[in-house]
């Protein structure tokens, strides 16, 4: 107020406060405005519970409490104050009560971007909002960010550098938005023709608000963004990450065990181990503070396929509270086929043995063309998909991956992400509790022949584009995007956590017992280092 800045403020209704708290807050806002005259609107917002937040189980604010708070705001703040209610947080049938209670402003309603704080509550279409407002006896008018009374007193309230731009945008009589206001870019100059950058920025915003509306060509454009367009893409993806999963970066304290090395009888070969070793490794991991052990890899053809179950039982019986994340689809198929259990029987047996979630690895790109060209030893794509669908149907949660930088096209990467969305939607519809927990885009290092989508684009920019598009295309489907720090290193990982990523996977403890029995031995990220 002392700096003469038009100010927006408000209260949130339904977060555990009392009616006394609400009244005190409104009175404090009124008193501040009386001192400085700077409060241009007061938002009265109803709490809506969202998944994966601290108050996800809390009830929404009741309609009557909310309407009473709006009416109280009008009485306390007086007839000249703007009282705003967000229209996407209420049903259209409730608008009349809110307007009758004293609301006179719908706030910002964007046809391009999502409500990043409440992305699960889409904005109403502007035409629908105008129609409903007219039905209530009012005319919907567009305003500027600053309200009319402040716009009409530019010397008192508008920064000198902004006054020319505001004057061009505003109707000189009403102070509302003018009907013929020119498009402006940041800095106040008329927008120049910048087709590539401008179009890409709009495309990124559209991807953030309605990813389902973009076609494959749109996503390919985003995947191949460079320069300032890529900066815009990653910044937008980071915003989506912030408002969908928050600011917490997650990591699990875990240890790997490669089941390919299992031998029923000790042979002394490097990397091999027995069930006694499994028990010792598990005890050591638990003592070191691990909460998960990850087991994967096809058991040697010379070993009994029921070794998958023996390993799982040994881990579970040794440390029942240790989460067992075990066996890729091809491992499960091996147990199903060689063990004579069938796919459903194998999954049921693994559940009984102590497996609690499964890796969704063992596939590079969900494209038979790519598999045949570069990975013909991998499980066929349809067989992998059948295996992961069956795991989800049995209630197993799984990871999902994409190995990129091989011979795949940008379109094949997009198709891969879309197919993961379909699998996730089917798992959710089945209601078994299964589905993908995270997506991990894993690059083939340039030193191993990694091929960029855009010739000459820096490797870090390849990764930024991949992580950003993954975040945006999978929003509303797979919640977490993991950054594979073992492939990228700590510095690049930090960049990708600002490009849409939010998860670091595991610490990958080597342990004190048989560290050679785990894949990625020698790569370890202790929690203190991860926190730094």
CB-facing half-sphere around the CA of 482: CA atoms within 13 A: 22
Give the bridge partners for 400, in sequence order: 439
- For 312, the token pair is 């799982």
pLDDT digit string, tens, across residues 440-474 = 999 986 555 567 888 889 999 999 999 999 999 99
CB-facing half-sphere around the CA of 34: CA atoms within 13 A: 9
End-to-end Cα distance, the chain: 38
- For 429, the token pair is 């519809």
Return the C-alpha torsion angle 209, 212, 214, 217, nearest 10: 140
DSSP 276-307: HHHHHHHHHHHHTT--EEEEESPPPTTS-TTH
Could you give the CA distance from residue 45 to residue 25 in angstroms, rounded to a whole number? 13
Locate tokens 């945008």: which residue? 169
Q: Is 347 helix (H, G, I), strand (E, B) or coil?
A: helix
What ranges make up the beta strands (E) of 135-215? none
- Closest to 43 (Cα-Cα) out of 97, 95, 102: 102
Task: Return the number of other C-beta atoms located less than 10 Å from residue 94's C-beta.
Answer: 16
CB-facing half-sphere around the CA of 243: CA atoms within 13 A: 18
One fold for 7-140 and 238-531: yes
Cα Rg, the chain, nearest whole Å: 28
Cβ contact 9:43 at 8 Å? yes
Task: Return the number of other C-beta atoms located less than 10 Å from residue 267's C-beta.
Answer: 10
Name the CATH architecture for the domain at 238-531.
Alpha-Beta Barrel (3.20)
Locate tokens 């990694």: which residue? 450
User: Which residues fall within 8 angstroms of residue 429, CB to CB, at 6 or more apart?
Assistant: none
Could you give the CA distance from residue 491 to residue 339 in angstroms, rounded to a whole number? 45
Could you give the CA distance from residue 244 to residue 50 in angstroms, rounded to a whole number? 9
pLDDT at 191: 31
pTM reported for the whole predicted model: 0.65
Query: Given strand 82-84, what is the order of strands in its sheet?
Result: 7-13, 39-46, 82-84
Residue 262 is classified by DSSP as B
pLDDT at 114: 63
- For 392, the token pair is 């989800």
DSSP 147-189: -HHHHT-HHHHS-TTTHHHHHHHB-TTT-SB-TTPPPB-TTSS
> What are the residue boundaries of the structural domains of the chain, listed by start?
7-140, 238-531
Q: Are strands 397-404 and 357-358 parallel, antiparallel or unpaired?
A: parallel
Entry field: residues in the chain = 532
Q: Helices (H), strands (E): how many in the chain?
A: 21, 12
Q: Which CATH superfamily is domain 7-140 in?
A: Aldolase class I (3.20.20.70)
Cβ contact 46:64 at 8 Å? no
Burial of 485 (C-beta count, 10 Å sphere; 0-12/13-18/19+): buried
Could you give the CA distance from residue 499 to residue 482 in angstroms, rounded to a whole number? 11
- For 91, the token pair is 């049903």
Cβ contact 524:508 at 8 Å? yes
Question: Angle formed by the axes of helices 381-393 and 410-430, to 10°?
Answer: 30
pLDDT in tens, the chain (532 residues): 888 999 999 999 999 999 999 999 999 999 999 999 999 999 999 998 876 667 777 888 899 999 999 999 999 999 999 999 999 999 888 999 999 999 999 998 876 666 667 766 788 888 889 999 999 999 899 999 999 999 999 999 999 989 998 998 988 888 888 865 444 333 333 333 333 456 888 899 899 988 889 999 999 999 999 999 999 999 999 999 998 898 889 999 999 999 999 999 999 888 899 999 999 999 999 999 999 999 999 999 999 999 999 999 999 999 999 999 999 999 999 999 999 999 999 999 999 999 999 999 999 999 999 999 888 999 999 999 999 999 999 999 999 999 999 889 999 999 999 999 999 999 999 999 999 999 999 998 655 556 788 888 999 999 999 999 999 999 999 999 999 998 899 999 999 999 999 999 988 778 788 878 777 666 777 777 877 7
């Amino acid at each position: 107020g002392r700096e003469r800045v038009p100010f927006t403020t408000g209260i949130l209704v339904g977060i555990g406060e009392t009616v006394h708290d609400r009244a005190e807050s409104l009175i404090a806002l009124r008193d501040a405005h009386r001192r400085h005259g700077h409060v241009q609107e007061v938002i009265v917002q109803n709490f809506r519970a969202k998944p994966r937040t601290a108050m996800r189980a809390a009830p929404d604010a009741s309609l009557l409490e909310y309407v009473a708070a709006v009416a109280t705001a009008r009485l306390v703040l007086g007839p000249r104050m703007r009282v705003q209610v967000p229209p996407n947080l209420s049903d259209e049938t409730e608008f009349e009560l809110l307007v009758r209670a004293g609301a006179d402003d719908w706030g910002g309603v964007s046809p391009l971007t999502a409500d990043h704080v409440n992305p699960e509550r889409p904005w109403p279409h502007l035409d629908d909002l105008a129609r409903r407002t007219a039905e209530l006896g009012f005319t919907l008018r567009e305003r500027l960010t600053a309200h009319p009374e402040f716009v009409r007193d530019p010397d008192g309230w508008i920064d000198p550098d902004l006054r020319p731009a505001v004057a061009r945008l505003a109707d000189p009589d009403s102070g509302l938005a003018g009907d013929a206001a020119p498009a402006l870019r940041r800095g106040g100059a008329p927008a120049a023709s910048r087709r590539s950058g401008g179009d890409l920025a709009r495309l990124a915003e559209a991807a953030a608000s309605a990813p389902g509306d973009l076609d494959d060509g749109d996503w390919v454009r985003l995947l191949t963004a460079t320069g300032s367009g890529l900066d815009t893409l990653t910044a937008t993806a980071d915003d989506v990450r912030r408002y969908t999963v928050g600011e917490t970066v997650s990591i699990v304290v875990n240890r790997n065990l490669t089941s390919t090395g299992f031998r029923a009888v000790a042979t002394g070969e490097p990397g091999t181990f027995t069930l006694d070793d499994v028990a010792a490794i598990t005890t050591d991991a638990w003592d070191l503070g691990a909460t998960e052990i990850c087991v994967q890899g096809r058991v040697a053809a010379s070993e009994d396929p029921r070794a998958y179950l023996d390993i799982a039982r040994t881990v579970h019986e040794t440390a029942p509270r240790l989460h067992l994340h075990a066996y890729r689809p091809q491992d499960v198929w091996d147990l199903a086929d060689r063990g004579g259990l069938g796919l459903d029987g194998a999954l049921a047996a693994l559940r009984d043995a102590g497996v609690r979630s499964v890796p969704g690895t063992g596939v590079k790109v969900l494209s038979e063309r790519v598999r045949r060209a570069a990975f013909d030893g991998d499980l066929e794509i349809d067989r992998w998909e059948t295996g992961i669908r069956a795991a989800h149907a049995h209630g197993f949660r799984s990871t999902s991956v994409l190995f990129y930088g091989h011979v795949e096209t940008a379109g094949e990467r997009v198709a891969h992400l879309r197919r993961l969305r379909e699998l996730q939607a089917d798992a959710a519809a089945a209601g078994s509790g299964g589905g993908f927990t995270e997506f991990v885009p894993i690059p083939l290092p340039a030193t191993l022949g990694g091929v960029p989508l855009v010739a000459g684009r820096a490797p870090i920019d390849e990764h930024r584009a991949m992580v950003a598009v993954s975040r945006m295309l999978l929003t509303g489907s797979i919640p977490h995007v993991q950054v594979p720090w073992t492939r990228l290193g700590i510095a690049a990982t930090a960049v990708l956590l600002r490009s849409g990523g939010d998860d670091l996977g595991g610490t990958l403890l080597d342990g004190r017992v048989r560290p050679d029995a785990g894949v990625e031995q020698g790569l370890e990220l202790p929690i203190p280092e991860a926190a730094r």
